[in-house]
Amino acid sequence: MAHLATAPGARRRRARERLRVLGFLSPWLIGFTVFFGYPLIATVYFSFTRYNQIQPPSFVGLRNWTYVFTQMPLFGPALWNTLWLVVVMVALRVVFGLGTGLLVTKVKTGAGFFRTAFYLPYLAPPVAATVAFVFLLNPGTGPVNDALTALGVPAPDWWGDPHWAKPSLVLLSLWGIGDLMVIFLAALLDVPKERYEAAQLDGAGPVATFRYVTWPAITPVVMFAVVTGVVQTMQYYTQALVAGKLASGVSVGPGTPVQPGYPDHSTLTVTQLVYSLGFQHFNTGAACVLSLVLFAVAMAAASLLMRGRAGLLGAEDRP
Amino acid sequence: MKRGRVLHWIAVHTVAVAAALFFTLPFVFVLLTSVMSDDQAMSGELWPRSWHWSNYAEVLRTPGFLTWWRNSLLYAGLGTLFTVCSSLPVAYALARFRFRGRRTALVLVIATMTLPPQVVVIPMYLVWAQQLHLSGTLWPLIVPLAFGDAYSIFLLRQFLLTIPAEYTEAARLDGCGELRTLLRVVVPMAKPGIAAVALFQFFACWNDYFGPQIYAAQNPGAWTLSYGLESFKSAHSVNWNLTMAATLLVMAPVIAVFFFAQKAFVEGVTLTGVKG
């Protein structure tokens, strides 16, 4: 019947089809425009203005941009800390996640128990986990330093020492490795059994088996874990902020302006700097410049995520 | 050969037990400290000399704590409901319909997914606070979820792609409209995916710290548990026992939900992985 349809009928059907697509997409079309499109444009605009959120914004050209990149004292430390966390945290999390995933595949007795035990900390709400770790690593009352002292190991002042604060955050993030462990576990269980049997027949040892059988099969998942890890770590905020605030020992409720990044700006991240500039110092222009820097990095990560074998776009949607 | 096997078993399980200790001991220490007396909690001792379960009652009696609990439930409950209802049709369209601009829409969804909330927060805050006068409430966090959440849209779409097209085709041939097909045919089959997305969104709201910090900070009556916990610690800076009890009370609902919905959860985590 289709070929007999008159042209106006076909057009009407196509119009109806388009309307239907629009209807289904409408929540997101509105959301995307209002909660993403508008604020992004406004952020670009504010980045060229001086604006204290009381008087109307006044245009200052590139002044905020040059201020952030050449003069702002905290930009350097914030960028350095964020990069440090992105490199160290992501690398260690991938290694540790793969390690725990492998371990669960090797365990013969109590695999279910170990899987749950390894996974559970991932579920701890970040604020609660951070409070717990501030306590656990606390030099005076925490059990970790007592244990270290008992073993004769010099115990660091974890959250209070600028050299140890970021490693403490990494430790906290390794405790919550559950998400990566499950992803790696699924990938490891997907490797065809015959390949392992073939490797065994060839007399391959465990290292050679991992190198030539396991690794090639799971590389896409490793790449995926790295890119999503970079995306997450770039946004790193809650744990660093809460740990810094609690460790500083300043007895203040949330909302009270505190210089973020205790000790010595060693836990200050770019996201915290956006908050501090925009909501404590009301330097909207500089905060928006930093927002756009984050935006650029996020978009670079997003384009990596969509590419390649491990890309998030299905085969039919790839260019 | 047999001895080698036994040694291998011992080695693997020793490492596994050590790892399990690393993951579980923090919970144990938090629990033990939470029932200590005030004095003992300040010492380095590990085992409670006497068990003060009343610490939990004291935390629950703290002004505000139950309000924060209610606010967390409101934010996470309504937020999850809104997210699922608004994201499902979008995910369905992106998974099933063929239309011009579909790839672009998908690219934009993935792009928003990777975006830190800090990027667009300042203009959004100004609208909510200065034009709509809704700062000091959780509505600026809940309302946007009624307009689709990129992460949930993406996960749901991945799941919907695994449902064979024959089912929806059959419904269509039976004269079922698209919306009816979605509700009657697709939703029942997509239950595991929907459950996983709902869980993720519930926890994302429950755990959110940045959102309440921006919009609810001025009004303690609107704080959530995740946000209030930090002030609890600040106010009880010496009482590690009470702080640890509060910490466990914030963790407990999430962990309880996990044990009830373990399967949906693990399914969801693997769904985030590569299933192109």
Chain B hits for A310, Cβ within 8 Å? 274, 276
Contact B123, B229 (CB under 8 A): no
Q: Which of A87-101, B184-198, B225-239, B255-269 has the lowest mean pLDDT?
A: B255-269
- Count Cβ neighbours within 10 Å for each residue of B185-195 and write b for 16 or more, e otherwise: bbeebbeebbb
Model pTM? 0.90
Q: Do B118 and A284 touch (CB under 8 A)?
A: no
Whether B105 sits inside 8 A of A25 (CB atoms) is yes
Rounded to whole angstroms, how far apart are CA atoms B258 and B254? 6
- DSSP secondary-structure letter at B216? T
The per-residue pLDDT for A262 is 86
Mean pLDDT (chain A) is: 88
Q: What type of residue sits at position B96?
A: R
B-chain residues near A238 (CB < 8 A): 207, 209-210
- Minimal Cβ distance to B148: which of A28, A142, A237: A28
Q: B103, B112, B119: best mutation site toward chain A, by most A Cβ within 10 Å?
A: B119
Residue B238: helix, strand or coil by DSSP?
coil
Residue A182: closest CA among B208, B262, B189 = B262
**A310 and B274 in contact by Cβ < 8 A?**
yes
Q: Is the pLDDT of residue B147 over 50?
A: yes
Q: Taking chain B, what is the end-to-end CA distance rounded to the nearest angstrom?
A: 42
The question of ipTM being above 0.85 is answered as yes
**Alpha-carbon span A165 to A154, nearest angstrom:** 16
d(CA B48, CA A186): 40
CB contact under 8 A, B120 and A43: yes
Of B144, B227, B233, the CB nearest to A246: B233
Closest CA to A287 of A274, A271, A298: A274
Q: Which pLDDT does position B259 carry in this prediction? A: 84
Say yes or no to pLDDT of A50 above 90: yes
| Annotated domain spans of chain A | 72-281
Query: Amino acid letter at A155?
Result: A
**Closest C-alpha to A122, from B142, B67, B262, B161:** B262
Average pLDDT over residues A193-218: 90
- For residues B235 and A120, the model is more confident at A120
Distance CA B252, CA B242 (A): 15
Distance CA A141, CA B46 (A): 9
* Interface residue of B230, B244, B249, B254 to substitute, partner A, most A CBs within 10 Å: B230
Residues B100 and A80: their CA atoms lie apart, in Å, by 43
Kind and range of the H or E run holding B53: none
Is the confidence at residue A277, as pLDDT, over 80? yes
> Is the predicted pLDDT of residue A1 greater than 70, yes or no?
no
Q: What is the pLDDT of residues B44-89, one digit of tens each?
A: 778 888 888 999 999 999 888 999 999 999 999 999 999 999 999 9
CA dist A72 and B52 (Å) reads 50
pLDDT band, very low/low/confident/very high, at A316 (cuts 50, 70, 90): low
Is B109's CB within 8 Å of A28's CB? yes
A83-92, B57-66, B106-115: range with highest mean pLDDT = A83-92
pLDDT higher than 90, residue A259: no
Bridge pairing between strands A49-50 and A58-59: antiparallel
* Shortest CA gap B48–chain A (Å): 13
Other CB atoms closer than 10 Å to residue A275's CB: what's the count? 21
pLDDT of residue A317: 59
In this predicted structure, the answer to whether residue A247 has a pLDDT above a threshold of 90 is no
CA A3 to chain centre: 53
CB < 8 Å to B112, chain A: 32, 36
Of A105, A115, A119, A131, which to mutate for an interface test with B (greatest number of B Cβ within 10 Å)?
A131
**Cα–Cα dist A93/A76, whole Å:** 25
What is the SS3 string spanning chain A?
Answer: CHHHCCHHHHHHHHHHHHHHHHHHHHHHHHHHHHHHHHHHHHHHHHCCEECCCCCCCEECCCHHHHHHHHHCCCHHHHHHHHHHHHHHHHHHHHHHHHHHHHHHHHCCCCHHHHHHHHHHHHHCCHHHHHHHHHHHCCCCCCHHHHHHHHCCCCCCCHHHCCCCHHHHHHHHHHHCCHHHHHHHHHHHHHCCHHHHHHHHHCCCCHHHHHHHHHHHHHHHHHHHHHHHHHHHHHCCCHHHHHHHHHHHCCCCCCCCCCCCCCCCCCCCCHHHHHHHHHHHCCCHHHHHHHHHHHHHHHHHHHHHHHCCCCCCCCHHHCC
- Spell out the SS3 assignment of A292-305: HHHHHHHHHHHHHH
* A72-281 CATH pick, 1.10.3720.10, 3.20.20.70, 3.30.70.580, 1.10.490.10: 1.10.3720.10
**Mean model confidence pLDDT for chain B:** 88
Per-residue pLDDT reduced to its tens digit, A104-151: 999 988 888 999 999 999 999 999 999 999 989 988 778 888 888 889
Query: Greatest CA separation found in chain B?
Result: 76
pLDDT band at B275 (very low <50, low <70, confident <90, very high): very low
CATH 1.10.3720.10 spans which residues of chain B?
62-272
Of A125, A142, A187, which is closest to B207 when you measure between CB atoms? A125
| Residues in chain B closer than 8 A to A294 (CB atoms) | 116, 118-119
State the Cα–Cα distance between residues A194 and A220, nearest whole angstrom. Answer: 20
Q: Give the residues across from A58 on adjacent strands.
A: A50
Residues A138-179: tens digit of each pLDDT = 887 788 888 888 898 888 999 999 999 999 999 999 999 998
- Of the candidates B193, B139, B185, B183, the residue with the CA atom closest to the CA atom of residue B161: B193
Rounded average pLDDT over A199-212? 90
Cα–Cα distance measured from residue A13 to residue B215, given in angstroms and rounded to the nearest whole number:
46
The answer to whether the Cβ–Cβ distance between B30 and A295 falls below 8 Å is no
Pick from B49, B51, B47: nearest CA to B35: B51
Q: What does the alpha-carbon distance between residue B44 and residue B170 come to, in Å, rounded to a whole number?
A: 67
* % of chain A beyond a pLDDT of 70: 91
Say what the pLDDT of residue B274 is.
45
The identity of residue B181, as a single letter, is T
Average pLDDT over residues B131-144: 95
The predicted pLDDT at position B89 comes to 95
Q: In this complex, do A123 and B107 lie within 8 Å of one another by their Cβ atoms? A: no
CA distance B33 to chain A (A): 10
For domain B62-272, is the CATH number 1.10.3720.10? Answer: yes
What is the average pLDDT across B218-229?
92
Q: Do A120 and B109 touch (CB under 8 A)?
A: no
In the chain, the amino acid numbered A47 is S
Contact (CB<8Å) B273/A312: no
At residue B276, does pLDDT exceed 50? no
Q: C-alpha distances in angstroms, B85 versus A58, B72, B78, B208?
A: 41, 20, 11, 21
Residues of chain B neighbouring A253 (CB-CB closer than 8 A): 231, 234-235
Element (H, E) at B62: none
Greater pLDDT, B231 or A313: B231
CA A128 remoteness from chain centre: 18
Pairs from B94-101 (Cβ < 8 Å, separation ≥ 24):
B94/A25, B94/B153, B94/B157, B95/B156, B95/B157, B95/B160, B95/B161, B96/B160, B96/B165, B96/B168, B97/A20, B97/A21, B97/A24, B99/A17, B99/A18, B99/A21
Q: Best of B120, B181, B199, B244 to disrupt the A interface by mutation (most A CBs within 10 Å)?
A: B120
List all residues 6 or more positions away from A133 whose beta carbon is below 8 Å from its beta carbon: A168, A171, A172, A175, A243, B26
Query: Which residue type does B252 have?
Result: A
Backbone angles phi, psi at A60, to 5 degrees: -125, 15
